[in-house]
């Protein structure tokens, strides 16, 4: 039956409670994907389209590495796909790649499962010759994913947890303050929950440092046609799937973004309840 499957899951691993990593065989995407880009996959032909950042690739082996958190019906279903099984389709790479160049000293901030989307940027900026300072934050030690991978490509790594179970107790914005006070940072990135990215933007603005954020609104087609991923940036309408996902934090209309993120919450809860039955 799996002979009809186009995209095989080569490996599957639980990274943290409710967070999973899969390696998917997709050689053409692996050969092209750049840091900052994403894919949209479907588990089967009736499936919802799930956008996920490409965390890493292996061009020779032909796989892409994806990390997701179980947050609703479709991600719960994705967590049941085992190694050796497959996905009906995966399209990409989508979105604009991160502007990787040598800026000097850069600050990279990742929160929760957003660390997965930050990692390829950490790696890309380090390989481009930057001095990389990375701040990772999560609720607790178990949820602080990709510590070793980020450490490998960072000149300095600061860990923050809400409960103090690893690193310092506090928010990522506290670590940002501490870094901004002692370093000249040319460029910053923040990826995580919307509220975190909003406050990271305010913190960077205080020190006049430009900061990129990666927006993850609801996406359907991923090609700029459905309008589902509409965001307001610098007072104009942009589509996160084609114009982003990265935008300058200071230009994002955060109130609109946070509101739109909650728009389908009742339907999402209902779909999940039906699935769990």
Q: Using CA atoms, how far apart are residues 116 and 160, in angstroms rounded to an integer? A: 16
Q: Is 138 in the site for ligand NAD (CB under 6 A)?
A: yes
Q: Is 193 in the site for ligand FES (CB under 6 A)?
A: no
Three-state DSSP class for 64? Answer: strand
196 binds, among ligand FES, ligand NAD, none (CB under 5 to 8 A by kind): ligand NAD
Instruction: For residue 229, report the phi and psi dihedrals to the nearest 5 degrees.
Output: -95, 25
CB contact at 8 A, 92 and 39: yes
Least distance (Å) from ligand NAD to the CB of residue 213?
Answer: 7
Q: Using CA atoms, how far apart are residues 208 and 227, in angstroms rounded to an integer? A: 32
CB contact at 8 A, 164 and 176: no
The piece of 55-63, 152-160, 179-187, 222-230 that touches ligand FES (CB under 6 A) is 222-230
Q: Is 121 in the site for ligand NAD (CB under 6 A)?
A: no
Q: Can you tell me which residue has the tokens 């039956």?
A: 1
Q: Is 254 in the site for ligand FES (CB under 6 A)?
A: no
Q: Is 157 in the site for ligand FES (CB under 6 A)?
A: no
Radius of gyration of the chain (CA): 18
Least distance (Å) from ligand FES to the CB of residue 267?
Answer: 17
Binds ligand FES by CB under 6 A, chosen from 241, 247, 252, 260:
241
Q: Is 225 in the site for ligand FES (CB under 6 A)?
A: yes
Q: Is 50 in the site for ligand FES (CB under 6 A)?
A: no
Q: Is 160 in the site for ligand NAD (CB under 6 A)?
A: yes
Binds ligand NAD by CB under 6 A, chosen from 51, 72, 92, 112:
112
Residue (79 or 91) nearer to ligand FES, CB: 91
Q: Can you tell me which residue has the tokens 């009809």?
A: 4
Q: Is 173 in the site for ligand NAD (CB under 6 A)?
A: yes
128 binds, among ligand FES, ligand NAD, none (CB under 5 to 8 A by kind): none
CB contact at 8 A, 54 and 120: yes
CB contact at 8 A, 83 and 11: yes
* Helical (H) or strand (E) element with 267: helix 265-276
Q: Give the count of alpha carbons within 13 A of 236, CB side only.
A: 3
Q: What residues line the site for ligand NAD (CB under 6 A)?
A: 111-114, 117, 137-139, 160, 162, 171-173, 191-193, 195-196, 199, 214, 216
Q: What residues line the site for ligand FES (CB under 6 A)?
A: 219-222, 224-229, 239, 241
């Amino acid at each position: 039956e799996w002979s009809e499957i186009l995209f095989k899951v080569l490996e599957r691993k639980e990274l943290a409670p409710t967070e999973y990593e899969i390696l998917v065989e997709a050689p053409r995407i692996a050969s092209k994907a750049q840091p900052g880009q994403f894919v949209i996959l479907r588990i089967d032909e009736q499936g919802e389209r799930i956008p996920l950042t490409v965390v890493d690739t292996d061009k020779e082996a032909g796989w892409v590495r994806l990390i997701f958190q179980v947050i609703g019906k479709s991600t719960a279903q994705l967590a049941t796909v085992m190694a050796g099984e497959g996905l009906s389709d995966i399209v990409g790479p989508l979105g604009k790649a991160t502007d990787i160049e040598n800026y000097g000293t850069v600050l990279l901030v990742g929160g929760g499962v957003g660390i997965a989307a930050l990692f390829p940027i950490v790696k890309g900026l380090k390989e481009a010759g930057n001095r990389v300072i990375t701040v990772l934050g999560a609720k607790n030690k178990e949820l602080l994913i990709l510590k070793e991978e980020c450490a490998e490509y960072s000149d300095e790594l600061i860990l923050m947890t809400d409960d103090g179970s690893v690193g310092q107790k506090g928010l990522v914005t506290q670590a940002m303050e501490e870094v901004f006070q002692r370093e000249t940072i040319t460029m910053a990135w923040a990826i995580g929950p919307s509220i975190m990215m909003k406050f990271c933007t305010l913190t960077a603005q205080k020190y006049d440092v430009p900061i990129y954020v990666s927006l993850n609104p609801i996406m359907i087609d991923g090609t700029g046609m459905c309008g589902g991923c509409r965001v307001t940036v610098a007072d104009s309408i942009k589509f996160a799937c084609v114009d982003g996902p990265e935008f300058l934090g200071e230009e994002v209309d955060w109130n609109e973004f946070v509101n739109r993120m909650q728009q389908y919450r009742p339907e999402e809860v209902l779909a999940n309840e039906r699935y769990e039955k």
